[in-house]
Structure 1
Amino acid sequence: MDGDAIRRDDTTDQVLINTPKVFFNRELSWIQFNRRVLEEAWEGDHPLLERVKFLSIFSNNLDEFVMIRLSGLWRQVESGALERPPDALSPAEQIAGIRSELLPLLEEATECWREYLLPRLREEGIFIHRMEDLSPECRKNARERFMKEIFPIITPMAFDISHPFPFISNLSLNLAVVINHPQRGRLFSRVKVPRGIVKRFIRLVEMPDAGRRDYHFVMLEDLIADNLDLLFPGMDVEAAYPFRVTRDADFEIEEDEASDLLTSIEESVEHRRIGQPVRLEVDSSVPSWIREMLGAKLHLHPNQVDTSTGPIGMADLMELTGINRPELKDPPFLPATPPGLENEKQIFAAIRQRDYLLYHPYDSFNPVVAFIRQAARDPDVLAIKQTLYRVGTNSPIVEALMEARERGKQVTVLVELKARFDEENNIVWARALERAGVHVVYGLVGLKVHAKLCMVIRREGERLVTYTHIGTGNYNAQTARVYTDIGIFTTDPDVGSDAADLFNALTGYSAKRRYRTFLVSHGKDGLMRDDLIMRINREIQRHRETGDGCIVFKCNALVDPACIAALYRASEEGVSIHLQVRGICCLRPGIPGLSRNITVSSIVGRFLEHTRIFYFRNGGEEDVLIGSADLMPRNLDRRVEILYPIRDAMIRQMLIEKILWIHLKDTLKMRMMNDTGRYKRQELGPEPLDSQGWMITNRGIWHDA
């Protein structure tokens, strides 16, 4: 794009914010991220089952995108909404753009499965059979298993004058069954495939000539289709075609009107099952009359109907990663534990001596669990306060908090019930904590509490000492193995005071906006955006003085127009800017006269890049912040977030040299964005670098003094 085409009648950020050509559309940018996930399924440097995993993640990501983002655009079209994003595309234009990008991507995903992964699985003794390809004996054994384990839980639903069109729940896999009735002619019935109750991939254990390490499967819908005569006895079953419906899953709570937020969210979660249909997926073999009938009954536009030549709902491919073939998976490694944190009983003594940096999953999550567990058991600990956003199942963190209450500690936990797709799990934990006597807060009206913070108050002699943990990721022991996140332990009294003030604001009433160390987003009252733009402006000024201005942001998303405009302005002033954004990025790099000093990269690899690190060279007085916030309007305007400026000089230097710069030097997994929003591979150079592999090999190096 020619820089001269950009409207620049003054140099204010507001002019840039009102200039659509300088922004990428966020939905189309997300699709480019998911394209990168699909690329990993093709990558030969991943073990085979890891490639299957990436195809599953690609499909699961797409399901969530349709349920939340695409459904929102269709709602806007139906309501005639006039509000447009910074790129100025209308909802209808965005839908058209999404469809244009997605259709070839879906074909590529199917090709990846059928032409690339399936043959390689067969080479490794993992077979996905079609029922018609099985021997008569194997087919008979499968039929017997169907009768015992599956037939009793299936209910065929007819559709005719006396039977209304059956309800199709969200993401349920179904068979459209066509029957030739001797008197009534052609009939239609729907059979729901019982996913979740029965696995999608049914292992066949009685296969002739099967090797000891071989795995033989049939897909559940294929097994059901092969035995439909048992469901429709005496009928002539003509054919069965898989299909699936995706529904609008983005519900809103009228919090001001809700007398009980927990109950209201429980009731609203049901909306995901019954929300308005957004997408119909059908097998490519489905006749047009069935496709049109289903679309009409679901009140879908033709552009909401997709055909597929591959399995529908490939997120279920994740089941295959449970196969016990370690050589087809990433090799395990033992996470590091910082020296001093190995002994749970001495953890407070260690943190009292110095601050600690944890970089998960290369560092073990056990010290975080040990920190809370020891707080529960230490007789000198008086109180624990913690935020919980996505906790996971069988959480050792929650168990430790309940134990703390049972031992008489004052325990306050803010459980964010509105964490999307984790509402039900969080409700379960909130109720368990309440039963244990924990003071549970359910979040704030109109805001999500996304900050990752835990404080422990301990009596030491004549004074109280606050031990604080601040993180970029959730207190979730499972995701800490696959998400890259930073955590800091500190007894800095200013940090402890900030944590106390923030918890008081979350559990009570407070008009506090400015904190000692924290940058806080607290909805419209927060100053995080202002504080970040102030730092960008400071970098511009320092660059004018020293000529070495540099800004590096490593985050998950960059969408906020004001932050983007400030970065454009810094680029024009000559500041060198490197943005490593895993997902959505609405900033256009490399535009002459606007962003020629900005690079945008993305890393998609073995682990999900989840850290948020914000670096400013500041004329040599380097400023580094970590925290929970991405640069999106939702984070800066509708959530409670914190960023923490690293005060410990050693940790700050390790974050810069051993984490941030290593990721920026990646040549194997990093892709660079161009001014069209597409990502390109790097030149490998004489010494190719996989930053995540480097972190595994050198894990713990950032603990060295």
Structure 2
Amino acid sequence: MKREYTGQSGSSAPFGRDRFGTGEAQSARATQDRIEIPEFEPNVMPEGPIGPDRFLDRELSWLAFNARVLELAEDPETHLLERVNFLSIFASNLDEFFMVRVAGLKRRIATGLAVPSPAGLSPIEVLEQISEAAHQLQARHAYAFANQIRPALAYEHIHLVHWDELDESAKAQLSRMFGEKIFPILTPLAVDPAHPFPYISGLSLNLAVVVRNPVSDKELFARLKVPDLLDRLVSVDGPRAGTVPGRVARFIPLEEVIAQHLDQLFPGMEVLEHHTFRVTRNEDLEVEEDDAENLLQALEKELLRRRFGPPVRLEVTTDINPNILALLVRELDIEESEVYALPAPLDMRGLSIIGQIDRADLRYPKHLAHTSRFLNESETSKAANVFAAMRRRDILLHHPYDSFSTSVQAFLEQAAADPKVRAIKQTLYRTSGDSPIVDALVDAAEAGKQVLALVEIKARFDEQANISWARKLEQAGVHVVYGIVGLKTHCKVSLVVRQEQDGLRRYCHIGTGNYHPRTARYYEDLGLLTADNQVGEDLSTLFNQLSGYAPKSNFERLLVAPRSVRSGLIERIDKEIANQRAGIPAKVRIKVNSMVDEAIIDSLYRASQAGVDVGVIVRGICSLRPGVPGLSENITVRSILGRFLEHSRVFTFANAGDPIVYIGSADMMHRNLDRRVEALVQLGNKDDIADINDLLERYLDSETSSWHLDNDGQWTRHHQDSDGNPLGDVQSWLLASRSRVRTALHR
């Protein structure tokens, strides 16, 4: 871990840059281009009987989050195909956890750099508890599929079948498909004195095959990789299988089809047995930016090395031959505690094929995002003139309830087409492969406008895609900045400069989510469209820091990490403490994806001890321990999971009756506060502030379905009242409220 909590807040990370705006490599000048991180008082420890164990372990808390995802899959009240999707999401989440968190922990242990966690656990203890919890979760995941989901799918005539369950006609059809589409791309790899054990790539599904040479009567081992580019589940009944209620839809795992035709891959050999296995490897990137002459080239090389990280997990089917398992464990150099024996099929990410079946009766009711009422001047779904609307008032957007395409996307597309627009500046952390945002920036550059794009090519698992978009933007004449040495640029900001009668005017967007049109349909996020002069000046300053030299800049309506997010929020919390002690009712509400930073948590503990009402809504990791007498009995922690991924970050303070609200990109984690460029903006419209405060109270309401965290770190789902009636779902309420507003507007 690069920085361990010592009671000190702040960071020594440079706020420099590594910029290749013309596509030509320039050397990083970290020593010339730093922002001085201001020193402030060490975080005061909260009073009370609890010491280091005042924090919950972040890794175990993440596993508890994924357990909540699994609970949605296990819930018979959840729509069936959505349950299938939650099973797939659980599997994908756990893969990433092993690739990044477990791999990182093992790497630190191996290099001797690991120290006890803030929760007081040694690295070995954390790894042991992760192993125990992960084994239980994977077994529970497999049980949910086999004993709950699979029978429910069969009731709806959707079947995951074995080869022996197929009729001869279906077998013949699959055999033809195998010969035409699968056999030509398979590559069996033998293991013998002339062929060493092959490299097994991370997350690949493999068949361990044992064959016998009838001439020598010798048994041999071979490995066969199941192709990643083919669908994990093969539809037996055609592409529209399952879309008509009552019509049978059968799917068979791709590895079963391959296994039935192994004799074609090993002609002249006798196939004795085969077993499925899967390896997870360390796939986190390590790029030494300060030593990289060209960050782009360094990252591209590291992406090639990613495939060759050490293994951290081996998944095998429960019926595997012990001798084959021993061979895999030995050759992969993996610990027995890292072996996960599970019933077939392995790799349930592939269940997404079934989850995508077009059966409206088995999934959430269709949702149509509405254009914000402040942008909708007619009964059409098209956005009005966004600039005119922004001049009238700030516009607070709430996606996916408010349409992304008729708000943020329309803002940038209109800016690209407007001849009065002189410049567009934009950060891109993640975006889609067919992004209209990128297209708008290209159009603007080709029209002669000054366009700056900050493309964060170190966005985890999107590195290759972002490199491609960076190249495309550069070729169109966009000034591309690849980020800052030592920091990831994670803030979500856009700035448009427009020539108007009274001079140049700035139009801004600051959001909590990425400029990604597809994820905007199912990620819950907030965004602010504003023509406020002060916000415009702040964003101009921020972009100057990102692309040039502006190390000692100040902001008025923004908090910007790594310099002022942590200190600014702690200052606000301390003001609530002072108000409470002065007899003025105080309140703090925070909604984030993760609550890990010890300095922030300790400030909330102090607030609780002073009697401040603190409410935290966290989707994922929470290291804060609520409800501890004398420490945190005034803190409530809730988690909302459901149809949409809760992604917004919101911070509200009562402020003696004049409430303050910030929204932005920062989670309460070391990486966000110390090693990323993040931005929070203070809302200015009183109605927006009231709406956000009302919304957070609804999230925290005891009548809202949610998970509650207790002081032992246990999450308990509360989704029914004492009579067994379902509690209110905040996402359903928001969908209904948007529909009511739209109906009222068009009467």
TM-score bucket (shorter structure) = over 0.9
Query: Which of 365, 373, 380 is residue 420 of structure 2 equivalent to?
Result: 380
Q: Distance in 2 between matches of 1:313 and 1:303?
A: 19
Picking from 502, 505, 523, the partner of 2:545 is 505
Pairs within 5 Å for 1:620-635: 620-635=657-672
The verdict on how the C-alpha distance between 1:683 and 1:419 changes in structure 2, with shifts beyond 3 A counting, is closer
Could you say what secondary structure the match of 2:591 adopts?
A: strand
2:232 maps to which of 170, 195, 200: 200
Aligned to 1:255: 289
Structure-2 residue corresponding to 1:6: none
Alpha-carbon offset, residue 138 of structure 1: 2.4
Say yes or no: does 1:698 pair with 2:732: no
Instruction: Name the SS for the 1:280 alignment partner.
Output: strand
Q: Is the 8 A contact 2:525 2:647 kept in 1?
A: yes
| Aligned mate of 1:610, from 643, 647, 661 | 647
Does the 8 A contact of 1:455 with 1:467 survive in 2?
yes
Listed as ranges, the gaps of 5+ residues in structure 1 are 1-10
1:81-128 deviation per Cα after TM superposition (whole angstroms, max 9, x unaligned)? 242321121211111010111111111100111111111111111111
For 2:557, the equivalent position in structure 1 comes to 517
Matched, 1:676 2:725: no
Deviations 1:272-328 (A, max 9, x none): 211111111111111121111111111111111111113211111112122222221
The SS at the match of 1:44 is: coil
Equivalent in 301, 304, 317 of residue 338 of structure 2: 304
Contact 1:359–1:486 (CA<8 Å) still a contact in 2? yes
Gaps of 5+ in 2: 1-41, 377-381
SS at match of 1:539: helix
Measured in 2, the distance between the counterparts of 1:661 and 1:590 equals 19
Matched, 1:131 2:163: yes
Residue 396 (structure 1) aligns with:
436
Aligned partner of 1:693: which letter?
Answer: S
**1:5 paired residue number:** none
Q: Which residue among 688, 702, 706 is the counterpart of 1:651?
A: 688
1:153 counterpart = 2:185: yes
Residues 363 and 700 in structure 1, CA contact (< 8 A), matched pair in contact too: no
- Aligned amino acid, residue 532 of structure 1: L
Q: Which of 456, 464, 471 is the aligned partner of 1:424?
A: 464
Partners of 1:83 and 1:475 in 2: CA distance: 37
Residue 643 of structure 2 aligns to which amino acid in structure 1?
R
Q: How does 1:33-44 map to 2 (within 5 A)?
A: 33-44=65-76
SS in 2 for 1:546: coil
CA distance in structure 2 between the partners assigned to 1:416 and 1:490 by the alignment: 24
Name the CA shift for 1:441/1:133 in 2 (closer, same or farther; >3 Å): same
Between the aligned partners of 2:154 and 2:269, the Cα distance in structure 1 is: 37
SS at 1:512's partner residue? coil
Q: Deviations over 1:327-376 (max 9, x none)?
A: 21211122121234235462111111111011000110011111000000
d(CA) in 1 for partners of 2:344, 2:637:
34
Listed as ranges, the matches of 1:449-460 within 5 Å are 449-460=489-500
The equivalent position to 1:663 in structure 2, one of 673, 695, 699, is: 699
CA RMSD of aligned residues (A): 2.1
Query: What is the aligned partner in structure 2 of residue 188 from structure 1?
Result: 221
More RCO (CA 8 Å, sep 6+): 2
1:475 maps to 515
Of 546-555 and 423-432, more deviation after overlay is shown by: 546-555
Q: In structure 2, give the amino acid aligned to 1:328.
A: L
Deviation at 1:423, TM superposition (A): 0.4
Q: Is residue 371–residue 383 contact of structure 2 (8 Å, CA) maintained in 1?
A: no
Distance 1:387 1:12, change over 3 A: closer
Name the % identity.
45
* TM-score, length basis structure 2: 0.89
Distance 1:458 1:702 in 2: 32
CA distance in 2, matches of 1:687, 1:228: 51
Equivalent in the alignment of 2:398: 359
Q: How does 1:490-639 map to 2 (within 5 A)?
A: 490-522=530-562, 526-639=563-676
Contact kept, 8 Å, 1:387 with 1:414, in 2: the verdict is: yes
Indicate if the aligned counterparts of 2:706 and 2:719 stay in contact, CA closer than 8 A.
no
Q: Which secondary structure does the structure 1 equivalent of 2:582 belong to?
A: helix
Bigger drift between 128-137 and 486-495 goes to 128-137
- Aligned counterpart, 2:263: 229
Query: How many residue pairs were aligned?
Result: 689
1:271 Cα deviation after fit: 2.4
Contact residue 400 and residue 521 of structure 2 kept, 8 A: yes
Secondary structure at the aligned position of 1:475 is classed as coil
Q: Relative to 1, partners in 2 of residues 1:548 and 1:434: Cα closer, same or farther, differing over 3 Å?
A: same
Q: Distance in 2 between matches of 1:71 and 1:481?
A: 32
Q: What's the secondary structure of 2:231's corresponding residue?
A: coil
Which one-letter code corresponds to 1:89 in the other structure? Answer: L
Contact 1:558 1:581 (8 Å CA) reproduced? yes
2:308 corresponds to 1:274:
yes
User: 1 CA distance for matches of 2:265 and 2:47?
Assistant: 63
Amino acid at match of 2:475: R
* CA offset digits 1:221-250 (Å, max 9, x no partner): 011111111111122111110001111011
